[in-house]
A and B are shown apart, each in its own frame.
Chain A
């Protein structure tokens, strides 16, 4: 899908060019009166295929105008079970942070996370996909915008026989890029894929260290991230009407429970 996303980005750039010619577009920070909804429960659970500590965080949403500090939810009962009937009881290690150690998710297994808090029980299921190898990272000159900036490309062989979904997380000198990168193989099944992580939230220069985590995620989790990434395209040139991404939790909890593979590679940008 990245190619298609680029199309959209290209449009934005062309529109920007038109506007530059036409006069000048202008961006300014404005203050808006926003309606504040009651705080919503947010559960973020991750189970990876790497042997180690697995975390679940429980927080609540805050008004848009508040600082980006979310209140934590302590005292919840967090358990996970797998398709073999094993139950893993998570324990709270700090406010709102729950963990289980040591464990690794097994490919093909479906895990169910159950969270009980405030008299309500929330459940979500996720299936650990089979891993796909992250072959390499490469860098190239940013084709849109300033030519001293770089774009990172992830290279991997998509397996032809299975439906695969991916999420990539990009860090530049340990600062996370604000762009959400997803891909599935509806356009790339069985191909050797070179996917540009097109973003402009962090400037990447030669000499920076870029780190990319590749996750293989299940279909629901892909749709969760894809839905969020589509909304990031909002702005001039159009975007989708924003909405909450489809959570795999029931009972209107926000967030997700993702069983995914993880593999990280690092390059010094050239």
Chain B
């Protein structure tokens, strides 16, 4: 395997050249095949709210090989020879629309779809049900239906997209009740989490029990586990692309909910009827009110809450130009009276401008801001300090989508992302035990250019191929050091402002293809390379708000992942059931781990504490989904292995990564009993985490000390849990609508291991014992939701 790893980059260079040649050949070929055809283009929107529908499919009945989907802004475009056609426009959860078109010149056709109001009454023609999952070349992608997320029962009734995606095959929750997730063996910092294109650095509230994504404000969620399209880059293992609601451009509306630990409200409405809309959504928890009730004065004076604010506005100047402004602001605040306080949070802002150059060329320009920061303050006399850390990104992106002809859709673009990292500073008073300290800021520019083509070779074969060139420049000012294997400084050099310290370039080929065996069966394969230039440095087993970020540098090389996967996709029963299985193998290079006893906090020489190695991950995923009907849901099963290898750890042998989970099962079911009642349930089972248990004990310094012989050589007990939920719709009113959501988390009260620790026994002195900590027993919840 070592040889294979080493030769892999070499093989890729050849593959790259071949791919580049194909790309150029292709562009020479495209115009030739574009004769005598006309374009139908337009926007696809929700009839009631005027919101753009993302990923709605448009098919031409007479030309089965022609199909397209609306893009992130609801725009679609397709080309066909002159003639009369029947278009089928469909979208999950909406009634399909059939339109007759007489095509003799380029035609603009805007379409509105109405959502299915009552599941019972709508009988959908089998042909109109989507078989995209089978025919699209894209693999390794999961699109979440927001209405499904809202029905899945979760801890304390806080519905959460991150917890829901961990119910998908190939995705694992970092720990119970946690929003951190691992995709196909990747670490949790190897997920690219985008909210309206802005990178969200810390997607968790309250140490991961809740995510930063208030599902009220979310419109669309896509998770890419493999075969990443070329427009995405910067993280190794997945892309979670989240798009915010745009707001209703026809009517004003207010909705919200009052839950056990939080309340939320959302206001939306038109800015200018049919042309522009806004949406504001807010959520705040009130766990601290429980603390106020405590008799203990320290607890009483403590703060513990988080809040989220999402806002978005858009305005369509005409059919060709539109502007979108969206933002997110969230914060966690924790503190104990007169003792300590901490807060952390993300802020993002995205300004986008859509312009249609022609019915075939769509462009989007984005200016994106993202910030993550934390502050910790101690008020203890003699031990006071204020520690702050911040990361600020400014990103300018230009994306084009060229609907060349009936068989080629080309995407290309450029991206320049500026990072400003302030790893940490400590401010103290004269009376403190601590000195002031500032860790040097780091500046970097991540650049990327990409091109990809979705090529419908025939009505059976679809190929999505492309290339992404990514680079990073690390700039001064600052002093940059290199270190030897023992962490001693080898060289140290001071750079002036703007001087390039180091740069890296990587070519990332992306390729996926599907071949339809029948209308409902296909096989797919993909290969993709991803690189990552911003890394979390944390020697803790779990993600904390104080995780430290570092860019690639003289010491840290870009992380590289190569993934190959292949899959079989089969729909049954007029596309009511979707079945898929995917096999993947992933090679990881330049992975980061830490020396024993590493000191990462506020350490200027933090890179001296790191060790570098490789990894591999492979597995098979099975997924069976029932998408339509009163009863819907899915079953996912993953069999996988994830290993890492570092010269300094485990005698240089492969060891299971913490996120290695042999078996992972999730079952989700939602049943619409009547107009009033719907029920849902989820069941999860997973092999326990790979952990390091003692293999012996001895005594030093008067204390029992444990001996470890193998990294992650043991397993925590497996975990399993059943959650149930029910929704009761209130009586229909003209003016408002209300509903109750009930939930029971961990119905059979299974104690799942959260941590296992070892200690001297208090009950049986002179012996040691293992102690399992579990977090949540059975937790009931209730939420009241309203909508005006």
Q: Which residues of A contact B (CB under 8 A)?
A: 2-4, 6-7, 10-11, 13-15, 17-19, 21-32, 34-37, 39-40, 42, 44, 59-64, 66-70, 143-144, 147, 153, 169, 176, 178, 180, 186-196, 223-228, 230, 234-246, 254-256
Contact = CB atoms under 8 A, between A and B. Distances in A.
Nearest to B695: A37
B518 interface: no
Contacts of A223: 597
A26 B433 contact: no
B31 interface: no
Given A4-B601, A14-B304, A17-B304, A235 B755 contact: yes
A61 B698 contact: yes
Given A18-B209, A69-B766, A242-B692, A25 B775 contact: yes
A117 to B, nearest CB: 15
Contacts of B437: 187
Given A23-B777, A40-B707, A195-B433, A236 B336 contact: no
Given A178-B703, A190-B435, A32 B542 contact: no
Given A64-B697, A254-B698, A27 B771 contact: yes
B104 to A, nearest CB: 65
Given A35-B713, A236-B754, A61 B772 contact: no
Contact of A194 (B433, B771, B773): B433
Contact of A6 (B340, B711, B760): B340
A178 B758 CA distance: 12
5 contacts: A40-B696, A62-B697, A64-B695, A237-B207, A243-B711
Contacts, number: 259
B767 interface: yes
B654 to A, nearest CB: 16
Given A18-B206, A68-B767, A39 B779 contact: no
A68 B712 contact: no
Give the top 8 A-B pairs by smallest Cβ distance, nearest first: A227-B597, A238-B542, A194-B382, A37-B695, A61-B696, A238-B540, A61-B698, A193-B433
Contacts of A254: 698, 700, 707
Interface stretch (B35-43, B294-302, B358-366): B294-302
Contact of B540 (A188, A190, A239): A239
Contacts of A2: 383
A243 B706 CA distance: 9
B596 interface: yes
A238 B770 contact: no
B695 A22 contact: no
A261 to B, nearest CB: 16
A144 B299 CA distance: 9
B561 interface: no
A17 B435 contact: no
Given A223-B597, A241-B712, A59 B698 contact: yes
Nearest to B337: A143
Interface size class of B (residues with CB under 8 A): 35 or more
Given A28-B772, A61-B697, A236-B755, 5 more contacts: A29-B769, A30-B756, A68-B704, A70-B699, A237-B544
A143 B339 contact: yes
A37 B771 contact: no
A241 B206 CA distance: 22
A186 B698 CA distance: 31
A68 B768 contact: yes
B554 interface: no
Contacts of B703: 176, 178, 180
A208 to B, nearest CB: 18
Interface string B737-780: 00000000000000100111111110000111111111111110
Contact of A67 (B378, B693, B767, B771): B767
Contacts of B302: 14, 17
B434 A244 contact: no
A62 B698 contact: yes
Given A190-B435, A192-B433, A244 B708 contact: yes
B426 interface: yes
B709 interface: yes
Contact of B434 (A30, A67, A188): A188
A6 B342 CA distance: 13
B84 to A, nearest CB: 62
Contacts of A246: 596-597
A144 to B, nearest CB: 7
B290 interface: yes
A243 B696 contact: no
Given A143-B339, A147-B298, A236-B773, A194 B697 contact: no
Contacts of A227: 596-597
A29 B761 CA distance: 9
B773 A26 contact: yes
A30 to B, nearest CB: 5
Given A3-B383, A3-B385, A61 B340 contact: no
Given A61-B707, A187-B434, A42 B698 contact: yes
Contacts of A143: 298, 336, 339, 380
A194 B304 CA distance: 28
B555 interface: no
